[in-house]
Structure formats: structure tokens, C-alpha cells
Structure 1
Amino acid sequence: MSEKHGLIAFYGGTFDPIHYGHLRLVISLAKFIHFQRVVFLPNNIPTHRPIPVASAQQRLAMARLAISELSNRSFDVDARELRYSTPSYTINTFEAIRKEYGPSAPLAFIIGQDSLLTLPRWYRGLELPIFCHLLMCARPGYSNWSDIRRYSFWFANRLTHDPQALYKKPAGLVYCATTMQLAISASNIRSRYRNGLACDGLLPSSVQGYIDQQGLYR
């Protein structure tokens, strides 16, 4: 890969289905962290969540449809984890990504506040800063960042409040974004579909059309 000057951020999840909580988060982040590119990484077999309802190909199709509705053409989807027959370990994915982009490219992983608190329990989770920066986003109902620093002392020496610092190193920093994630969840959307409730305003119209066409979440 030759893209070594801008910051490339990766956003993992099952995206079952992808919704405006996912999309508006990265759009908001991109306004004050000027990413060169944001790459969505759909999981195949997640290690910390139930097995997805939609198939890998259905979730990939929904992610591509959602991104196609955005005016920002710097968003993309990386389907590599969907090709794995084993659980998707984030550390393995970033080891491969780092090899592809080279040692000097600034790379980042967008992670929710709730996931950050469990990172020490992930498979080799504390090794992630070797390969990328961590961009942590607030979650509704969770403590403020000062509380998290008290409970998650392991990353305190990596903490930065300067987004420009993320461009100056290829990896190793933790940036706490003030962007609040919307209280939209995929589980609630699936529940609404099962109960015949409208999901307008929760996910892109193209994704809604695909869900209807595929008969998902009924």
C-alpha cells in the first residue's frame, strides 16, 4: 500500500444491520479528525457477541449499500474478516493490515467506550496499540473519561487530547473522542422488525429495502 501520509481509521462490528448510529458516529469523527479514509470491517464470527442473524454476505451487502448513500467517498468496506472460518480476532486483523500498509502509515481503530473497558480481556487486546492508535468514542450511559482513566489505568500513558498527534506516529496513542454515539442499536432494530414496527430514521432507506427484499429479521 502506498497511502502513508493520511490517517486511515478502521471500524469493526457485526453490522447486523448497519445503521445510523454507526454511520453518524464516523461522520462526526471525520469532522474533527480529518481521516484520509474510514474502512468498515464487518466481523464474520465475533468473539464477544452472539452469532449474527444475517449472513456474512448479507451484512456485507448492507454495509456497501449504506456507504453508497453517503456523499463522503472516503468511506470503504474491507471484507477480509468475512473470509475467515475461525473467530475474528482484532489483533490478527491489525497484524495483517499493518503488514499491508507498512510500518510508517498512521492507522487507527475506532472503538466504543464499553469495548475499551473490556479490552484487557480480549485475545491479545493490550497489544493493539503496537499496530494502531485507538479512537475511543463515548457511549450513552457510561461514565465520563476521567472515570474511565481511573478504571483503565493501563492506557493512561498513551492518552492524547490532540488529534494532530495521531498523524505524527503510526500507532500507540489513545484518543478520547467527545462525540456521543446515538442510542440506536442493531438489536433494537431487529426487535422492531420482528414486531412489525417501522425503522424509518434508524438506518438508510437502501438498507431497509434490502432487509425487506431478503426477508431478514422477521
Structure 2
Amino acid sequence: MRIGFFGGSFDPPHLGHRALACLAADQLHLERVLLAPVGRQPLKHGDAAPFADRVAMLELAIAGDPRLEVSLADAPMPDGEPNYTVDTLRRLRRELPAGARLYCIMGADSFLTLGKWHDAVGLFAESDLVVGARPGFVLDHAALTLPPGVRVEGLAEDRPGCRGYTVQHPSGRSMLYLLPDLAEEVSATEIRTEHAEVDERLNPAVTGYIRTHGLYRARIANRNQNQGR
């Protein structure tokens, strides 16, 4: 069994998120991709849309593809502490059948901050990593951001749309897959601050949900007020 885990704020979930999940499923033949809104993101500050709204929007964003599934694995912690991806992966691994292979999916921007993640080295012990990026993303430079103790050994798989690298880490070896053909790469921050009645970067059902529930209006109002000074 091959399972993908794709965590993030999904604030809001946009076409780029779905494109990356589908690309990973296609290229790595994943049976399921778990998309998990994070309760509290350690590296981001500021108010996010309520967790329940982000879950609801994500359900709308991925509807129609049976491989994609919303997961509550990264739901808010009872004590209000941040959610750490490595801890979530460890819990998932305990729940998966013996022999299941786990893939942690992320965009290039997230990969470039990997050195700042909590127990980033531990990520490689729990799963293979899958990085989606636009054409032209160069792993040679990005590899410099890997945490101490982790290094890319060499190219192990090279085919159209997917390059797989063997990675050495203190617990052994795992794989790092680069998917360089991501067609949709959108900033959720831009959408939150520029959201209009119709937004081509979002599934129309997500746009409707945002409008119906009045999400992000305060942020847009604050932006307009600041620009008017």
C-alpha cells in the first residue's frame, strides 16, 4: 500500500493544492492521498480561518477524485500546542498496515524551509519525501537547505515527470522525489488578501463557501485601510 500525506494550512485550499496531490498520486501510483489541514502551524503566525471551515473547504476542493481524502490527523491539539509534521507521520505509521509505504508531499516553498522544521531529520526516517515544483526547480541548490545529517546520495530514478534521489540520514536511507512539472502554483496568502467574488485560482464551490461564510473579509478590509493611509 502506498499512501501520500499532504499537510498544510489550506487557508484556503486552491487549485495548486489539488494539482500537487493529483500529480503525486499519478507519478508515484499512490492508492490514497491524505490531505490534512493543520490545527496550528508552527512556522506561520496570524489568524487562520477556523479549522472546521478549512476542512469543509478542502472537502469541496478535492471532490470527484476517489484517491484524495481529507484527514483529521493534524487536527488542533487539545493543549493548544503546535502541530508537528514528524509527530503526525509517526502516528500515521503506527496506524498503517505493516509494509505500507508513506510519502510526505509538499511544495517547493515548504521544502526550502525544511531546515527550520521541528525534528526535520526525523521526517526522513518516517517517510519518503515528495516535492512538487514548477519546471526549472534545481535540487542541487535546494539540497543545501536540508537539515544537518541529511544528504542526497545520488539519482536513483529518472523518468519524465519524476526524479527520485536516494537520501542518507542517521536512521538509514529513504527517497526524495522531485516532481518538476507542477502546472498550478498559487499563493494562498495572495488569495486571502485579494479574494474577489470569482477567483479562477479556486474551485467555484470553495469560492461560494468563502462568500457565504464571510471568510477573509477582515483581512481584505485591513489591507485596504492600510493602503489608504
TM-score, L = length of structure 2: 0.79
3-state SS of 1:29 partner: helix
Which residue, 177, 190, 193 being the options, matches 2:192?
190
Question: RCO greater where, 1 or 2, for CA within 8 Å and sep 6 or more?
Answer: 1
For the Cα contact (< 8 Å) 1:16–1:52, is it kept in 2?
A: no
Q: Between the two proteins, what is the percent identity of the paired residues?
A: 31
Q: What is the rounded CA distance, in whole Å, between the counterparts of 2:61 and 2:129 in structure 1?
A: 24
Q: What is the rounded CA distance, in whole Å, between the counterparts of 2:90 and 2:26 in structure 1?
A: 28
Residue type at the aligned position of 1:172: S
Q: What is the rounded CA distance, in whole Å, between the counterparts of 1:155 and 1:103 in structure 2?
A: 27
Evaluate the alpha carbon distance shift between residue 101 and residue 7 of structure 1 in structure 2; reply closer, same or farther with a 3 A threshold.
same
Matches for 1:117-196 after TM superposition, within 5 Å: 117-138=112-133, 143-149=137-143, 152=146, 154-157=150-153, 160-161=156-157, 172-180=174-182, 182-193=184-195
Per-residue CA deviations over 1:109-141 (Å, capped at 9, x if unaligned) read: 00222222322221111111111110012258x
Structure 1 runs (4+) deviating above 3 angstroms are: 149-153, 162-166
Evaluate the alpha carbon distance shift between residue 145 and residue 76 of structure 1 in structure 2; reply closer, same or farther with a 3 A threshold.
same
Q: Which runs of 5+ in 1 are unaligned?
A: 1-5
Per-residue CA deviations over 1:139-185 (Å, capped at 9, x if unaligned) read: 58x8512322355483302764357989xxxx821111112352311
Which residue, 9, 13, 17 being the options, matches 2:12?
17
Query: Is residue 77 of structure 1 aligned with residue 70 of structure 2?
Result: yes
Q: Which runs of 5+ in 2 are unaligned?
A: 166-172, 218-229
Evaluate the alpha carbon distance shift between residue 92 and residue 75 of structure 1 in structure 2; reply closer, same or farther with a 3 A threshold.
same
RMSD: 2.6
Evaluate the alpha carbon distance shift between residue 150 and residue 172 of structure 1 in structure 2; reply closer, same or farther with a 3 A threshold.
same
More strand by share: 2
Q: What is the rounded CA distance, in whole Å, between the counterparts of 1:161 and 1:112 in structure 2?
A: 20
Q: What is the rounded CA distance, in whole Å, between the counterparts of 1:116 and 1:189 in structure 2?
A: 21
For the Cα contact (< 8 Å) 1:112–1:139, is it kept in 2?
A: no
Residue type at the aligned position of 2:138: N
Residue type at the aligned position of 2:185: A
Larger Rg: 2
- Which residue number in structure 2 is paired with residue 93 of structure 1? 88
Which residue, 62, 65, 85 being the options, matches 1:67?
62
For the Cα contact (< 8 Å) 1:39–1:78, is it kept in 2?
A: yes
- Which residue number in structure 2 is paired with residue 43 of structure 1? 38
* The 10-residue stretch of structure 1 (79-88 or 104-113) with the greater mean CA deviation from structure 2: 79-88
Evaluate the alpha carbon distance shift between residue 137 and residue 160 of structure 1 in structure 2; reply closer, same or farther with a 3 A threshold.
farther
Q: What is the rounded CA distance, in whole Å, between the counterparts of 2:42 and 2:145 in structure 1?
A: 23
3-state SS of 2:181 partner: strand
Residue type at the aligned position of 1:32: Q
Evaluate the alpha carbon distance shift between residue 50 and residue 150 of structure 1 in structure 2; reply closer, same or farther with a 3 A threshold.
closer
Q: What is the rounded CA distance, in whole Å, between the counterparts of 1:158 and 1:59 in structure 2?
A: 38
